[in-house]
A and B are shown apart, each in its own frame.
Chain A
Amino acid sequence: ELKVEQNPLFLSMQEGKNYTIYCNYSTTSDRLYWYRQDPGKSLESLFVLLSNGAVKQEGRLMASLDTKARLSTLHITAAVHDLSATYFCAVDLDSGGGADGLTFGKGTHLIIQP
């Protein structure tokens, strides 16, 4: 059974600071996704990471994937209030491309305070 664990589940930080959210998963997979969810809204795709060593950046967010360690990180640089949201990582178990859905972590609720 695939398990996806995020750490921390809750994070309160100040604007301007840097921090990292971690996502560990229990079974071999070559594809990992990061989503953002604003309160009362649905999920929005942030990054798709497809191979070991993959790194993607957009604005103040950078995601990386280490398939050997079964670990992905989402790094926040110089946080701003607009990044307050819940962040989910999700893993695709079937790397062959079958439509068997994604397994999600429990989410990291991030609050960025002025």
Chain B
Amino acid sequence: DVKVTQSSRYLVKRTGEKVFLECVQDMDHENMFWYRQDPGLGLRLIYFSYDVKMKEKGDIPEGYSVSREKKERFSLILESASTNQTSMYLCASSLYLGDLNEKLFFGSGTQLSVL
């Protein structure tokens, strides 16, 4: 089974701190994604990556950056955390969306609270 592991289940940080959220997948997937999930808003795409060192902005990239130095690891960085970044963050991976039956596999999420 595909496993997508997010390093922390819960995080509490202070406004202005630099925050790193880590995600590792063990199935050699090419594509990795970061979403945030907020009540009433569903999931919104922050950034995605289709290869090592490649990254693309999603729908809400402001205030975030990402890093993909190795194929299995995709990090989300909050340069200076703010209270409006309090959210559930979900990492996902997929082999290749060109495969018609491919789908996203999600990690268990990181609930981030910024105080």
A→B interface (CB under 8 Å): 4, 9, 31, 33, 41-45, 48, 50, 88, 90, 92, 94, 96-107
Contacts and interface: CB of A to CB of B under 8 A. Distances in A.
A45 B103 contact: yes
Interface string B6-35: 000000000000000000000000110101
A101 B48 CA distance: 7
B108 A98 contact: no
A103 B106 contact: no
Nearest to A2: B59
A15 B56 CA distance: 44
A50 B92 CA distance: 20
Contact of A33 (B44, B99, B103): B103
Interface of B: 30-31, 33, 35, 40-45, 48-50, 56, 58-59, 90, 92, 94, 96-109
Given A92-B97, A104-B44, A99 B30 contact: yes
A41 to B, nearest CB: 7
A43 B90 contact: yes
Main secondary structure of the interface of A (DSSP, over half): loop
Given A33-B103, A43-B90, A102 B98 contact: no
Contacts of B105: 45
Contacts of B56: 99-100
A88 B43 contact: yes
Nearest to B44: A104
30 contacts: A41-B108, A42-B90, A42-B106, A42-B109, A43-B43, A44-B106, A48-B101, A48-B102, A50-B100, A88-B42, A88-B43, A90-B43, A92-B97, A94-B97, A96-B98, A97-B96, A97-B99, A98-B50, A98-B98, A99-B31, A99-B48, A99-B49, A99-B50, A99-B94, A99-B96, A99-B97, A100-B97, A102-B45, A102-B104, A105-B42
